[in-house]
Amino acid sequence: MSKTIIISNRLPLQLQIRDNIIETTPSVGGLATGMKSVHSDNESIWIGWSGLTEEELNPDLKNKVTSALEKHQCVGVPLTEKDIEGFYYGFSNNTLWPLFHYFMEYTEFEKSTWETYKSVNQKFADVIIHNLEDGDTVWVHDYQLLLLPDLIRKKRPEISIGFFLHIPFPSYEVFRTIPCREELLKGMLGADLLGFHTYDYERHFLSAVQRILGYEINFNNIHLDTRIVKVDSFPMGIDYKKFNDAAQVHDLKAKKDKTEIQQEIDKHLKAGSNQAKLILSIDRLDYTKGIANRLRAFEYFLDKYPQFKGKARLVMLAVPSRANVPQYQRLKNEIDQLVGRINGKFAEVSWTPIWYFYRSLPFENLIDLYTSSEVALLTPIRDGMNLVAKEYVASRVDKKGVLILSEMTGASNEMSEALIINPNNFEEIADTLKFALEMPEEEQIKRNNALQKRLQRYNVEKWANDFMESLRATKDDTKKYTLKKITPSVKNEISKKYDSAKNKILFLDYDGTMAPFEKLPENAKPTQRVFDILDELHQQSNTKVIIITGRDRDTIQKWFGHKEYTLITEHGAWLKEKNKDWELMERVDNTWFGSIAPILESFTDRTPGSLVEEKRYSLAWHFRNVDPDLGKQRANALKTTIQQLIANHNLEILEGDKVLEIKVSGVSKGKSASKMLLDKQYDFIFAIGDDWTDEHMFKELPKDAYTVKVGLKNTIARYYVKDIDQVYDLLEAFK
């Protein structure tokens, strides 16, 4: 039976060795809970590192770990201390983490850690391949495993692979600075579906792919030679019920059942006689979380609004993280000093402004804090999502409480009813804190009502299911293409048909079909191989070879004039038959050039890299060498301008591959191809082309014609081949 394989750096379990016995406890993190619905019954396994290095395990313990993991449907990836050093602390946390969070000054690039990152990704791939069966679905998580999708794809091209990034994907301008940028993108593109928390991260990723790899992007699909990769945003939710239920139970607890922390909090709140207010913050101690900023802003708030002294208290839980990394140690010192200084500055006998916990707390204490705090103040400088914001709102059973949230978090995109702040603007934070502490209850309830509804609906289970559903749909789309692929047996069938046919006609597009695109159109000259193929076909009896192209007559005359093939140029305006002169296939004129050409030229002046091509009966504006976003934008603007001008004329705009062409309407490859069929009864009709001007031809030709698209794009052609080499292979089979 097919299964789902979840892969993350760490397994969702904590292992401990006590007296040579392995103890396991489930992890409480967002990912572990989130994947619960996917990682259920016998239909899934989870692959990752157990948390114990190879050096910590003797053969006996290794076996024990394996069977302990097996009980939870988990499989370990064996990693050494050196692996963890280079892969986890090194490349993942010293390079990717700061870079992806826009901390370029903290980003180190070391060749040795990059090498370890690659080899550890390979180790993960090896374990996966070993456990992979036909029909399985693979879901890879996060920045530690960016190369993994492609490593799996290389070994098992047919497998369905999803990838989700839990941290931001930075803007192209930041991402481009990393030396191994191409390898990272290609690694990710091994997946069928790539998920991000927000549309912005998705947009940044697409832009990096387009600019760095130069791949074709169609809305949110990336066209590779044999596959389509879909990119989409799936904002991760939380286990809403778990937090809401726990908060309800919490509120009903008798005093004696309350936790120690809760009793302390109650004491403080009571002493403040209704005026005491708690402001909560919870995060891992990480420089991305804006903890120092928050403390300084809180100090500024107490200075600016002294009426809150003795009343408002910041309860700050900072969970230790990567504590042996110097950067994190420095951050810890900075926070310790700031807390000490601010507490020293404002403390009164019965009140200290900051309660600071530097540790991890059990879940029930988390609920104590969520339910007792009037305000949650979350100020990350950059954060992929921020689940704490969602958990705070979900725990507010009475619907009171105010969330202040940094606009730099992924969560702020969905939580517009929260008070959204810029974490670098202390003035704004101070004013918002005051506003939050004084917010009327009805307004708090109104805002939380809306937030809770959304969190309840788009919970983590829905997130996981949506992702899996979308992965299935993406794979189905790709399968549609696979059905049209020219396999060796289809190729065989077509060439057999060719052999036995009496009269054969071949329509061959030129650019993108017989020759690759070049930066300058005049450089795409036919090679000897192209001539060899065409000559071979042309010499066969009863075979008519036609080059059918949008190119101008003069260039085609220069390149093919000495040959005897039939030539059709400018999308069907001109025809040249063997031993004859060029003749017009359609009555066309070019008297309109004078009004359109200056507009194209003005666009060219303003768009670096673009150029105007003047053919006899059409004008083309090429933007292949323009910055991709600018090119698209200018092409749209140009199209709108021209459309208005030509509204009452017999002209039309043709959109080719990175080219807009204005020509007399009614002239098309489809029309001219049909005309060529009139003089004889052909029993083998073949047409091949790569862009959508060729679709006209595919459409007009009879149903039993062999129509072939080059590249994986939407098409009405019956078949496709992946690239120009395959075009040559196919034509060489016609003998």
Quick check: 30 binds ligand GDG (CB under 6 A)?
yes
| Cβ atoms 444, 400 nearer than 8 A | yes
Cα 713 from chain centre:
20
For residues 123 and 145, what is the distance between their CA atoms, to the nearest angstrom?
A: 11
Residue 361 CB, nearest distance to ligand GDG (Å)?
4
Positions in 224-253 near ligand GDG (CB under 6 A): 236
Positions in 304-343 near ligand GDG (CB under 6 A): 317, 319
Positions in 346-365 near ligand GDG (CB under 6 A): 360-361, 363
Burial of 490 (0-12, 13-18, 19+ CB in 10 A): middle
For residues 284 and 297, what is the distance between their CA atoms, to the nearest angstrom?
A: 19
Residue 567 CB, nearest distance to ligand GDG (Å)?
58
The helix or strand, by DSSP H or E, that contains position 493, with its residue range, turns out to be helix 488-500
The single residue among 180, 229, 387, 494 that binds ligand GDG, judged by CB under 6 A, is 387
For residues 281 and 284, what is the distance between their CA atoms, to the nearest angstrom?
A: 10
Quick check: 36 binds ligand GDG (CB under 6 A)?
no
Q: Classify residue 348 by its DSSP letter.
A: B
Residue 387 CB, nearest distance to ligand GDG (Å)?
3
Quick check: 598 binds ligand GDG (CB under 6 A)?
no
- Which residues in 142-186 belong to E strands, given as ranges? 160-164
Q: Classify residue 515 by its DSSP letter.
A: B
Count of C-beta atoms within a 10 Å radius of residue 270: 10
Residue 101 CB, nearest distance to ligand GDG (Å)?
8
Residue 166 CB, nearest distance to ligand GDG (Å)?
3
Give phi and psi for 163, each to the nearest 5: -140, 135
| Cβ atoms 553, 580 nearer than 8 A | no
User: What secondary structure does DSSP assign to 590-613, as a single string?
Assistant: -TTHHHHHHHHHHHHHHSTT-EEE
Quick check: 162 binds ligand GDG (CB under 6 A)?
no
Residue 97 CB, nearest distance to ligand GDG (Å)?
9
CB nearer ligand GDG, residue 166 or residue 615: 166
| Cβ atoms 64, 23 nearer than 8 A | no
The single residue among 69, 188, 282, 433 that binds ligand GDG, judged by CB under 6 A, is 282
Quick check: 366 binds ligand GDG (CB under 6 A)?
yes
Quick check: 28 binds ligand GDG (CB under 6 A)?
yes
Positions in 647-676 near ligand GDG (CB under 6 A): none
Count of C-beta atoms within a 10 Å radius of residue 477: 14
User: What secondary structure does DSSP assign to 396-427, as a single string?
Assistant: -TTS--EEEEETTBGGGGT-TTSEEE-TT-HH
Helices (H), 232-350: 240-252, 260-271, 291-304, 326-346
Count of C-beta atoms within a 10 Å radius of residue 406: 27
The single residue among 2, 21, 23, 29 that binds ligand GDG, judged by CB under 6 A, is 29
Stretch near ligand GDG under the rule CB under 6 A, chosen from 14-22, 25-33, 129-137, 518-526: 25-33
The single residue among 136, 202, 391, 509 that binds ligand GDG, judged by CB under 6 A, is 391
For residues 726 and 728, what is the distance between their CA atoms, to the nearest angstrom?
A: 5
Give me Rg for the CA atoms of the chain: 32
CB nearer ligand GDG, residue 222 or residue 389: 389
Quick check: 550 binds ligand GDG (CB under 6 A)?
no
| Cβ atoms 96, 9 nearer than 8 A | no
For residues 433 and 78, what is the distance between their CA atoms, to the nearest angstrom?
A: 48
CB nearer ligand GDG, residue 5 or residue 385: 385
CB nearer ligand GDG, residue 144 or residue 715: 144
In total, the chain counts a number of residues equal to 735
CB nearer ligand GDG, residue 363 or residue 435: 363
Stretch near ligand GDG under the rule CB under 6 A, chosen from 26-34, 172-180, 327-335, 713-721: 26-34
Whether 398 is catalytic is: no
Applying CB under 6 A, the site for ligand GDG has a residue count of 21
The single residue among 86, 162, 353, 384 that binds ligand GDG, judged by CB under 6 A, is 384
Stretch near ligand GDG under the rule CB under 6 A, chosen from 23-31, 58-66, 416-424, 609-617: 23-31
The single residue among 181, 284, 632, 722 that binds ligand GDG, judged by CB under 6 A, is 284
* Long-range contacts of the stretch 56-62 (C-beta < 8 A, 24+): 56/17, 60/20, 61/17, 61/20, 61/22
State the catalytic residue, choosing from 239, 509, 511, 691. Answer: 509
The helix or strand, by DSSP H or E, that contains position 358, with its residue range, turns out to be strand 354-358
CB nearer ligand GDG, residue 462 or residue 563: 462
Residue 52 CB, nearest distance to ligand GDG (Å)?
21
The single residue among 285, 339, 385, 659 that binds ligand GDG, judged by CB under 6 A, is 385
The single residue among 38, 75, 161, 167 that binds ligand GDG, judged by CB under 6 A, is 167
Residue 717 CB, nearest distance to ligand GDG (Å)?
42
Interface residues toward ligand GDG, by CB under 6 A: 28-30, 166-167, 236, 282, 284, 317, 319, 360-361, 363, 366, 383-388, 391
Instruction: State the catalytic residues.
Output: 509
